[in-house]
Amino acid sequence: MSIEMMERITARARKFWKIAAGFPPNKEEVYADHATAQDFALWGERARDDNAPPLTALEYGCGGGSDTISYLTRGLRVVAVDINPSNVATTATRVRDHARGLEFVERHAVWLLEYSDKIQPVGGLTGEVDTGLRPPFDVASSHGVLHHIPQPLVGKVVAEIYRVLRPGGWFYAMLYTPELRNNHADAIETLTKRHGITAEEAFGWCTDGEGCPWAEAYSHREAELLFEEAGFEMRSSFEYSDGFFCTYRMKKRKR
């Protein structure tokens, strides 16, 4: 894909994904299996270990901030990143409402996490924006985000997530499955013909609403290739929601 096309998709993503402000702030209560897929209980146990230093999490593509709140309420410290500044602002507001007083840093991802160390935070809970929370992180999570980013950009994002994790750190990533795409096969065909849009755009319209700029499905092998290319060791995967979602759990090598 050309740089121009990726830039076009990114520009449209910034506008379209403002809808994430309407996503529920308590996803783990709304969707059965979400907390299991993310191992939230396990991370809560680890965070309660008084002998260990505080755990830090990165949420990439925070949307309405539900996972940020899930980590914060279990005692982790969180940096929330999104391509859309209004989503980090929504996340900040919700943190104030649901996880008051917990340590949280907002960042506006430009279009590559590569730039995230350099970009300016867009605000802070107490006006004290930089609380010193920065890489390396113990855990990173990107739920329902990477399948909306086309290659080669998505490969660069995954490589950056790998870079900002500590050695031995974990990454959780939920991707759409081929079962989900097959479920929409007829509609994708109709939409591509009727509107002259790509199959990826049509899949996005089916899963996330008209105007969604891009969505792809990943087989297990395709997901492994994406993550292993960046250096991750795949540890397990968890399919849920009728096999339409798959959360991959992987580790950064210790050295």
Ligand X SMILES: C[S@@+](CC[C@H](N)C(=O)[O-])C[C@H]1O[C@@H](n2cnc3c(N)ncnc32)[C@H](O)[C@@H]1O
Catalog residues that contact ligand X under the rule CB under 6 A.
Answer: 13, 17, 20, 23, 27, 61-64, 66, 82-84, 87, 109, 111, 143-145, 148-149, 208
The least distance separating ligand X from the CB of residue 19, rounded to whole angstroms, comes to 8
Give whichever of 145 and 230 is closer to ligand X, judged by the CB atom.
145
Give whichever of 3 and 221 is closer to ligand X, judged by the CB atom.
3
Residue 141 — left, alpha, or beta (φ > 0 → left; ψ -120 to 50 → alpha)?
Answer: beta
* Nearest one of 83, 25, 60, 87 to 174, comparing CA atoms: 60
* Nearest one of 27, 244, 7 to 149, comparing CA atoms: 7
The least distance separating ligand X from the CB of residue 53, rounded to whole angstroms, comes to 26
Give whichever of 94 and 143 is closer to ligand X, judged by the CB atom.
143
* Nearest one of 168, 131, 161, 125 to 145, comparing CA atoms: 161
Give whichever of 15 and 193 is closer to ligand X, judged by the CB atom.
15
In sequence order, what are the beta bridge partners of 80?
59, 106
* Residue 30, token pair as written in the block: 């709304």
The least distance separating ligand X from the CB of residue 35, rounded to whole angstroms, comes to 13
The least distance separating ligand X from the CB of residue 71, rounded to whole angstroms, comes to 12
Give whichever of 99 and 145 is closer to ligand X, judged by the CB atom.
145
Please state, in angstroms and rounded to a whole number, the distance separating the CA atoms of residues 149 and 158: 11
The least distance separating ligand X from the CB of residue 149, rounded to whole angstroms, comes to 5
